[in-house]
Amino acid sequence: MSSADPARNGFVHLALPKGRMEEGVMRLLGDAGIRLTFDRRGYRPTISLDGFETKILKPQNIVEMLHMGSRDLGFAGADWVAEKGVDLVELVDTGLDPVRIVAAAGPEFLDGGRPRHAGFLVATEYERITRSWLEQRGYDGRVVRSYGATEVFPPEDADCIVDNTATGATLKANGLLIFDELMRSSTRLFACPRSLDDPEKRARIEHFVLLVRSVLDARKRVMLEVNVPGDRLEAVVAILPCMREPTIAPLHHDAGFAVKAAVPRTDLPELIRAIKERGGTDIVVSGIAQIVP
Ligand SMILES: Nc1ncnc2c1ncn2[C@@H]1O[C@H](COP(=O)(O)OP(=O)(O)OP(=O)(O)O)[C@@H](O)[C@H]1O
Ligand SMILES: O=P(O)(O)OC[C@H]1O[C@H](OP(=O)(O)OP(=O)(O)O)[C@H](O)[C@@H]1O
């Protein structure tokens, strides 16, 4: 058996999602320096990571395969892990493709934000999540399984729905109002619990997690560089929300200091104002590709 043979012990079988999550996950891997080479119409790209083999599958199937153990590692929505009721290890929440799983109905069904009457019918693709919500809320409801286009069921074919929503446009277009939130979901990296018991697989999975996290962390930060006169240095450094300590280098001819720090992107507008106020000049902001702690 060669070291490139997927049947070898310690090889990680990775599942990548087909469909709406595909683009974000592919970009994430690309930004982490992981290359995938596709053949025409093939669902088995070659991955540039040593000791990994990969396959493209629908996320609902990825959840099942991670549960059975035929795949070790895979990206899927947290909603389908909850819906299938399986015990997987969540390694990374990428925050990509965020959705809310909500209960929604037309205004005629609602009374003060609650179902108007007992014995109602809920249309949903999420049967298990819906049943446990009914039980938790003490609602007397029955479930009809939908296979897409769930929003069109009410009022004739169901009283309300449980479905995912991203922008809310589909609910609005069908005249439905959200009256409860059951959970939030996003694209996450899951592992089969047993795969983490294998030391060789575990080490490879941990390295994969580190690469993915390095990109997600880098996306949240920018590199900020600023020149500061010597007597303003401490005042500027004090307000920098950097990861550890900023890098400080003296400028030529004792002209002050260059200060460099990776700061949260969302802090930038306020930070630039505060730095200018404290005497910082020549501010340069640039992107970061990866951050490995
Ligand atoms: N805007 C969105 N609408 C629906 N699902 C979304 C959205 N954004 C993220 N998701 C997530 O995508 C996953 C389903 O992905 P999938 O590619 O199977 O979508 P799908 O539209 O149901 O596919 P298909 O049309 O082939 O049934 C779920 O985990 C869901 O939460
Ligand atoms: O809040 P929004 O941005 O409108 O997105 C949510 C809608 O998009 C998806 O439907 P999809 O297009 O996949 O069709 P489907 O209902 O057949 O799954 C999902 O099932 C919702 O219906």
Give the Å distance between the CA of 20 and the centre of ligand 1.
6
Q: Tell me, what's the pLDDT at 41? A: 72
Cβ–ligand 1 contact at 77 (below 6 Å): yes
Torsion of CA 69, 74, 79, 82, to 10 degrees: 20
Q: Tell me, what's the pLDDT at 38? A: 87
Q: Which CATH number fits domain 12-95+187-217: 3.40.50.150, 3.40.190.10, 3.30.365.10, 3.40.50.300?
A: 3.40.190.10
Cβ–ligand 2 contact at 203 (below 6 Å): no
Give dist(CA 76, CA 190) in Å, integer. 7
Q: What is the pLDDT along the chain (293 residues), one digit of tens a residue?
A: 444 556 557 899 999 999 999 999 999 999 999 999 987 778 999 999 999 999 999 999 999 999 999 999 999 999 999 999 999 999 999 999 999 999 999 999 999 989 999 999 999 999 999 999 999 999 999 999 999 999 999 999 999 999 999 999 999 999 999 999 999 999 999 999 999 999 999 999 999 999 999 999 999 999 999 999 999 999 999 999 878 889 999 999 989 999 999 999 999 999 999 999 999 999 999 999 999 98
Sign of CA dihedral 30, 99, 63, 38: negative
Cβ–ligand 1 contact at 21 (below 6 Å): yes
Q: Tell me, what's the pLDDT at 293? A: 85
Q: Tell me, what's the pLDDT at 242? A: 78
For 20, the 3-state DSSP assignment is coil
Cβ–ligand 1 contact at 100 (below 6 Å): no
Q: Tell me, what's the pLDDT at 7? A: 58
Nearest CA to ligand 1 atom 29: 77
Q: Tell me, what's the ipTM?
A: 0.95
CATH class of 219-287: alpha beta
Cβ–ligand 2 contact at 164 (below 6 Å): yes
Give dist(CA 60, CA 80) in Å, integer. 6
Which one, of 134, 132, 138, 135, lies nearest residue 121 by Cα? 134
Superfamily of domain 99-185: Periplasmic binding protein-like II (3.40.190.10)
Q: Write the burial class of residue 201 (CB in 10 Å: 0-12 exposed, 13-18 middle, 19+ buried).
A: buried
Nearest CA to ligand 1 atom 27: 148
Q: Tell me, what's the pLDDT at 40? A: 75
Domain regions of the chain by residue span: 12-95+187-217, 99-185, 219-287
User: Residue-wise over 257-272: b if at least 16 C-beta within 10 A, else e?
Assistant: bbbbbbbeeebeeebe
Asked, colleague to colleague, whether 12-95+187-217 and 219-287 share their fold, the answer is: no
Q: How many CB atoms lie within 10 A of CB 43?
A: 12
Q: Tell me, what's the pLDDT at 9? A: 72
Place of tokens 């002050």: 256
Omega of the bond leading into 193 within 30 degrees of 0 (cis): no
